[in-house]
Structure 1
Amino acid sequence: MDLAAQDTRAYHLILLDTSGSMATKGLYPRVHDALLGFLSSLPRNDTIAVLPFAGTPGAYCERSLAEDVYSIVRDCVPPDAKGDWTDLGGAFAAALDHLSTVDVSLSSLIVVTDDEHDPGPDDSDYPPPAKGVPAWDVLAARARSLPGVVVPYALQLAGGQSAKTMSTVFGNVVAHDATSQAEIVTQLTAIRTDIRMTVARDAYRRPPPGATAAWEGVPDGVDCASGAAEAQLTFAQGNPLVPVAVTDLAVTADGFPATVTGIPARVELSDGVPANIRVHVTWHTTDTASGTLRLVARVSSPYADGLRQLDVPVATAPAGETDTAVSCRTGATSGASGGWVPPTLTTALLASVLTAAVVFVRRRRGFTLRASWAGVEFGPVRPSLVGDRFGAGSWVRLRSADGQELPGHGTLQPIRTDDRTSARAYKITYSPDSSPARADETVLPANGSIMVNGVVFTHQDETTSRRSPDKAEASTATASANDARSA
């Protein structure tokens, strides 16, 4: 893969000497013809500008290389050279005026001349450069303050010495010497190759290629009795130009008795699109505990070999938030903290977010089932048996006031506990589109909350919250009997 041909943008400014010596030595026609091939070889999304100069700068001409290169050469390159002198200082000053307005991160500046700085006998703003000459110091300061990176090249024709003068202003200059037509073409090709590699190196190096990871919604301080929660792990490209694969993923829970499932074997990242992975955290303790979830993975890229030639390494492990705290507390209000929420969810619970809340309320005669989806209330309904299906198409249907049904299918199954008089947990299975492929399940604790497939399920035992202790005990016994019959 030619990494230098990737979709990166650059600006190229050619300072073209049009003094008479370029014509008398037969150099100008050769340069004129060679520029046509040079411009044709540059990427179509680049911008080219030509600034002719001799004793003074000529007319600046800028074009997109998406245009026809023949018309660019016709309009921007003067047909002949007949100037009197070669004032490089004036040309550099004019070039800096234009480079300071460029909106790309990298530009090239190419000086094509057969001479060194020779401003002529008249008074010039730029006498022969020497250390401490104010005019040249000002040019050098302006070059250092340019908003982007400028790579300077000097195409020295017939023994010209422009590189030395150019370095006074622009620092390290890449010099190329040529005289014949073939040499001019060869040296312009070398400049073209170096430009493309430099542009590619700049584009791929910032920001560094690789992958980043970030945790969201990891349970922290939730009720230990809830036993499980969901979190989100987001992967993104370090550099959107460099596709990567994240493999050999593993998550460990250090210091916290938990397992994490739902980790994929491979995550592909390209085109700047992040990957949001929903994972399940299940812990095996009812006592307060805390620890750290640690992500380890390997990162690779099909561009790695090409980037190595550009001296741009690809990070082999994810950067960012690979470790995150995880904890639960005995007696904490379940769902008070932790648990994954969709990235676009705000504290105001905007109605545009696809979020649903389903409430199961335990009563003497069973459960009432309610739902809230995108600000629309569904139900209530009263299932007669725990374990019956609910949702669109099921006999237990949750409808809104205008007849809309809660999408998907779900089931609610009781989980027995050793103490038959205590509140019980429930296994929830839910698919938002009713397909088995989207179905997911987890454990909903009594009087707790859990999220399954973007739906927040909440259980509330109203018999204990709305009745006196003696009546609550009787209600619990009745509910337990109903549960036993349904099981």
Structure 2
Amino acid sequence: MNHPAPARPPRRRAALLTAALLAALAATPAQAAPTAPDPSRADIYRALELDREPADYVILVDTSGSMTEEGRYDTVRTTLRPFLDGLTPEDHVALFTFDSRTEARYVGAAGDTSKIIAALPGAPDPDGDTDIGAALDAALEEVERDDASPVASVVLLTDGEHRPAARSRYPKATGPAWDALTTRAEAVAGHTELAGYAIPLGGGATGAGLLADVVPDTTVLRPEGIQDLGAYLARAGERTRARKAARLLAPDTGKGVTATWHGGGALDLGDGTAAGKLTLRAATTRAPLTVTGLRATLTGPDLTVSGLPRTLTLRPGESRTYDVRVRGRLSAGALPYRRTEETRATLHLAGTVTSPWQRPLAPDVRLKTPETIRTRDAELTVRADVGSAAFLPGVIGAVLAVLVAGWLLWRRGNRPPLRGVLLLATPFGGPLPERIELRGRRMALRPVSTGGRGTVHGRRRSTREGPRTDLRIRFSPDGTAGRESGADCAPGGEVVVGGVSFSYLGEPGPAPAPGHPR
């Protein structure tokens, strides 16, 4: 029965499928189940458009005489059909049979399974030997082509040991010829994802393991019976598809989520809040990424950042920008007066980055994603008005009060209490001297006998005999303020100020005789 090749899925359909899968994963917790199921491998392969990625398959089928036993050859022909049906038209198939000699039965594109199966002989060669070395030589020639695919698989199905004909280049299972095969395989593996799948048929010893001696990345699949061949062929095909996916996802290794803060100027907290923008971007090109437990903070001062979802899923290369709100205040420090303060703050983002594709692809594909978010432009300038607007005037008032109080104290200390008697008279005769009893620290002078006005206060002096109190006398004969004359007078002394004679008696005593001011 002819099975038509599967139609190539259009890119638009694959893109819509990817978008639908990611939309379900990115739904908010209120819209989705608490734990969204992971996509299946088939979903991921469709999203990757894996059918468009070519691979080389070299299939080596033993047609020696022993393959007639237990219907092994017929089983191989039957079970190859579903294996070939799983390939895509982009894949390249080289089908070889080997016994005493190796013969290419089909070399070309996959997709027409019936045509490939029909190329096989109807039965094994009953007299054929088993030359595995020659079969591997033919397989390497296929994967050494200039137009070979970047992913290649060699599938070996045999029930016998390596027993070639006498003329074979590989008379034994070891030797220089086998070493040359290994060297060629290593060269191919240097630029191609080359893997081998050896499937020994029958219960006895076979030479299937020789494939691992030539191709290091070989898996020996050991079915318990020929009836298990279909499952093991399917496993070989699945592993090849996984290697395709791994190759496509290799550029995403080490790529995660980056966060960028927007705004070149200072972040002005104003009344304790400020608006900002934060962009999260998936750096991958094919794999979606999910962030759980997302939280942002600013430190140095400690500020909170709100407006981010706790969980989000980003498509490959997708960016999402969020309007966030920063809350907090700057400390006024030891200087609490009102001023504008600027400081540096560091942006931190917490959250675990994974991909919803990691679990379905494991262990065949290891999608390594950095679990932490990489933050760009993490250093920010934060500005705010700090301190109290009433503090500075209060401080100035307090300082002035202290100064005034200090001045008053100084004045009080420098203006001792007045004691004794002050005599006022005209210098050239006239009425009897006017006697003024000194008291307090400062006295106003308004003499009746001479007229005019003035003031008098004491001043402490240091002398050899010890401290004494002098008088500072200021007087204006016409009483005009601001035009007073001044002079200092020691105890027992006499000065003339504004045309009036002032005599200072240190202690109260009798008034002098007329004409004698002292």
Provide the TM-score with structure 2 as the length reference: 0.51
Matched ranges for 1:395-434 at <5 A: none
| Larger Rg computed on CA atoms | 2
1: distance between equivalents of 2:262 and 2:235?
53
SS of the equivalent of 2:286 reads: coil
**Structure 1 unmatched ranges of 5 or more:** 331-416, 419-487
**What are the superposed Cα offsets for residues 94-115 of structure 1, whole Å, 9 maximum, x if unpaired?**
2223224576554321111232
Paired residue for 1:269? 314
Q: Is contact 2:252–2:285 with CA below 8 Å preserved after alignment?
A: yes
**What are the superposed Cα offsets for residues 266-314 of structure 1, whole Å, 9 maximum, x if unpaired?**
43223x2412315457696743422311111244555455345658477
Q: How has the CA–CA distance of structure 1 residues 247 and 224 changed in structure 2, closer, same or farther, with 3 Å as cutoff?
A: closer
Paired residue for 1:53? 98
Paired residue for 2:360? 306
**What are the superposed Cα offsets for residues 223-251 of structure 1, whole Å, 9 maximum, x if unpaired?**
5779778555232165724x443243221
Q: How has the CA–CA distance of structure 1 residues 225 and 215 changed in structure 2, closer, same or farther, with 3 Å as cutoff?
A: closer
Select 1:88's aligned residue among 109, 126, 132.
132
1: distance between equivalents of 2:325 and 2:304?
6
Paired residue for 1:254? 299
Alpha-carbon offset, residue 177 of structure 1: 4.9
Matched ranges for 1:23-422 at <5 A: 23=68, 26-42=71-87, 46-59=91-104, 61-65=106-110, 67-75=111-119, 77-82=120-125, 84-101=128-145, 106-122=151-167, 124=169, 126-130=170-174, 133-145=175-187, 146=189, 147-158=191-202, 159=204, 161-171=206-216, 173-177=218-222, 182-192=227-237, 195=240, 207-208=252-253, 211-215=256-260, 217=262, 219=264, 222=265, 231-236=277-282, 238=284, 240-241=286-287, 243-256=288-301, 260=305, 262-270=307-315, 272-279=316-323, 286-299=340-353, 302-303=356-357, 305-307=359-361, 312=366, 317-321=371-375, 324-327=378-381
Q: How has the CA–CA distance of structure 1 residues 165 and 294 changed in structure 2, closer, same or farther, with 3 Å as cutoff?
A: same
Q: How has the CA–CA distance of structure 1 residues 229 and 189 changed in structure 2, closer, same or farther, with 3 Å as cutoff?
A: closer
Q: How many residues align?
A: 323
Percent of aligned pairs with the same residue? 25
Q: Is contact 1:260–1:279 with CA below 8 Å preserved after alignment?
A: no
**What are the superposed Cα offsets for residues 342-385 of structure 1, whole Å, 9 maximum, x if unpaired?**
xxxxxxxxxxxxxxxxxxxxxxxxxxxxxxxxxxxxxxxxxxxx
Q: How has the CA–CA distance of structure 1 residues 179 and 23 changed in structure 2, closer, same or farther, with 3 Å as cutoff?
A: farther
Equivalent position amino acid for 1:14 in 2? I
Equivalent position amino acid for 2:300 in 1? G
Q: Is contact 2:57–2:153 with CA below 8 Å preserved after alignment?
A: yes
Q: How has the CA–CA distance of structure 1 residues 111 and 39 changed in structure 2, closer, same or farther, with 3 Å as cutoff?
A: same
1: distance between equivalents of 2:220 and 2:301?
63
Q: How has the CA–CA distance of structure 1 residues 215 and 32 changed in structure 2, closer, same or farther, with 3 Å as cutoff?
A: same
SS of the equivalent of 1:58 reads: strand
Alpha-carbon offset, residue 14 of structure 1: 0.8
Paired residue for 1:399? none
Q: How has the CA–CA distance of structure 1 residues 192 and 308 changed in structure 2, closer, same or farther, with 3 Å as cutoff?
A: closer
SS of the equivalent of 1:14 reads: strand
1: distance between equivalents of 2:234 and 2:165?
32
**Structural RMSD (CA):** 4.2
Q: Is contact 1:178–1:187 with CA below 8 Å preserved after alignment?
A: yes
2: distance between equivalents of 1:233 and 1:63?
49
Q: How has the CA–CA distance of structure 1 residues 236 and 104 changed in structure 2, closer, same or farther, with 3 Å as cutoff?
A: farther
**What are the superposed Cα offsets for residues 59-104 of structure 1, whole Å, 9 maximum, x if unpaired?**
3734444x232233235x3444438443322322222232245765
Q: How has the CA–CA distance of structure 1 residues 5 and 281 changed in structure 2, closer, same or farther, with 3 Å as cutoff?
A: closer
SS of the equivalent of 2:281 reads: strand
Q: Is contact 1:213–1:235 with CA below 8 Å preserved after alignment?
A: yes
Q: Is contact 1:249–1:266 with CA below 8 Å preserved after alignment?
A: yes
Q: How has the CA–CA distance of structure 1 residues 275 and 169 changed in structure 2, closer, same or farther, with 3 Å as cutoff?
A: same
**Structure 2 unmatched ranges of 5 or more:** 1-38, 331-339, 391-518
Q: How has the CA–CA distance of structure 1 residues 192 and 257 changed in structure 2, closer, same or farther, with 3 Å as cutoff?
A: closer
SS of the equivalent of 2:139 reads: helix
